[in-house]
Amino acid sequence: MLDKIKALREEINAAIASDMEAVEQLRIKYLSKKGLVSALMADFRSVPADQKREVGQKINELKTFATEKINSLRDAFLLKEDDSCDELDLTRTASPEQLGTRHPLSVVRNEILRIFAGMGFTIAEGPEIEDDWHVFESLNFPPDHPARDMQDTFFISRDPSDVLLRTHTSSVQTRVMERTQPPIRIVCPGRVYRNEAISARAHCFFHQVEGLYIDRNVSFVDLKQVLLGFATRMFGPDTKIRLRPSYFPFTEPSAEMDISCDICGGKGCALCKGTGWVEILGCGMVDPNVLEACGIDPDVYTGYAFGMGVERIANLKYKVKDLRLFSENDIRFLREFESAH
Ligand code: DAH
């Protein structure tokens, strides 16, 4: 009996198959109910009691062996049928990790920077923990300006000199102008902080991109042209812009820029509150006081500046209604931007 098992094992071991059909034939020959391995079971009854244990074990082993052999023959054909396995790539990870996605605010910030880089702007950055000089005083904020108030600004210490979290990226203008003579053409991305109650429309931190261009003979016309170039690249070639007079301490004259509402195409809807326009940034000609404070001669140089909120642009581009979604990092929200880059 043991010899019979051994012979059968060798026979199975040597078995080959040229296609799937042949594999199936082998399975029927050895493993089906009427197959050769099952036939051994019939003989098992006549095995003397003292050998039953050993023989039983050997038959079981043979069954396992035959099953594995036939499975491996079958797998070989399955692999062959799958084209993608034709070239086996051994460098591929066995269990691929799911890749993360870029945060929507990074996507929008990068897009803003890319557009301005295409117009000759370079990137400058500055610290988030700032002092009163860089955030307010150098930018022509009068000492009693409400923006310095505790309600807006997070102060870290008020003694001996104010240390605070910057409330806008305009502070980077000062830092760059203090150490560089014109021409200066920069965009400054970064996070800013304001002491606001958190709601769908306000947060205690958000992101801005500041722009600054200082050279001889820079005029408001240059500013308008650059901003039009930005708006049409960011929101589409048919986008229109409009500049409304406004006030900022560090620019004179100052303006706020609206773009034509891309939801209703200017007809008036909920997003633009029926006006056909949505505000996207503040801008103006750099106030001579600011140039002077930063060591640049206002009789020789002029310049413009602008500042925009990245969340604001992202809201308009992706129609996100609640600002809090940007900082909650709910993976379902972030995955919606998988195709953005
Ligand atoms: N710093 C302003 C703010 O946070 C935005 C701003 C407006 C920046 C006009 C500028 C500018 O450079 O010219 O609201």
Q: What would the DSSP string read from start to end of 103-157?
A: -HHHHHHHHHHHHHHTTT-EE----SEEEHHHHTGGGT--TT-GGGSTTT--EEE
Q: Is 191 helix (H, G, I), strand (E, B) or coil?
A: strand
Q: How far is the CA of 115 from the centre of ligand 1 (A)?
A: 19
Residue 227: the pLDDT is: 98
- Rounded CA gap, 130 and 147, in Å? 15
Q: What are the C-alpha distances in Å from 31 to residues 15, 37, 46, 289? A: 13, 6, 21, 94
189 lines ligand 1 (CB under 6 A): no
Cβ of 260 closer than 6 Å to ligand 1, yes or no, is no
Residue 326 clears pLDDT 90, i.e. is over it: yes
Cα–ligand 1 centroid distance for 212 (angstroms): 10
Dist. CA 188 → ligand 1 center (Å): 12
pLDDT reported for residue 18 = 84
pLDDT of residue 280: 95
Model pLDDT, residue 39? 87
- For the Cβ of 303 lying below 6 angstroms from any atom of ligand 1, the answer is no
Q: What is the pLDDT of residue 165?
A: 96
pLDDT of residue 85 exceeding 70: no
Phi, psi of 50 (to 5 degrees): -70, -15
pLDDT of residue 83 exceeding 70: no
For ligand 1, say whether the CB of 182 is within 6 Å of any of its atoms. no
Q: Is the CB of 214 under 6 A from ligand 1?
A: no
Query: Is residue 262 pLDDT above 70, yes or no?
Result: yes
The residues with which 210 forms a beta bridge, in sequence order, are 188, 307
Q: Which residue has the higher pLDDT, 20 or 159?
A: 20
What pTM does this model have?
0.73
- The band of 258, judged by pLDDT with boundaries at 50, 70 and 90, is very high
Residue closest via CA to ligand 1's atom 6 equals 307
Q: Give the largest Cα separation in the chain, rounded.
A: 116
Distance 280 CA to ligand 1 centre (A): 11
Mean pLDDT of 287-308: 98
Q: Work out the pLDDT band at 167, boundaries 50, 70, 90.
A: very high
Question: Whole-angstrom Cα distance, residue 251 to residue 303?
Answer: 9
The rounded Å distance from CA 79 to ligand 1 centre is 62
Structure token pair of residue 47: 């095995």
Measured in angstroms, how far is the CA atom of residue 193 from the centroid of ligand 1? 14
How far apart CA 123 and CA 190 sit, in angstroms, is 11
Cβ 73 vs Cβ 27: under 8 Å = no
Q: Which atom of ligand 1 is nearest to the CA of 208?
A: 4
In the chain, the amino acid numbered 14 is: A
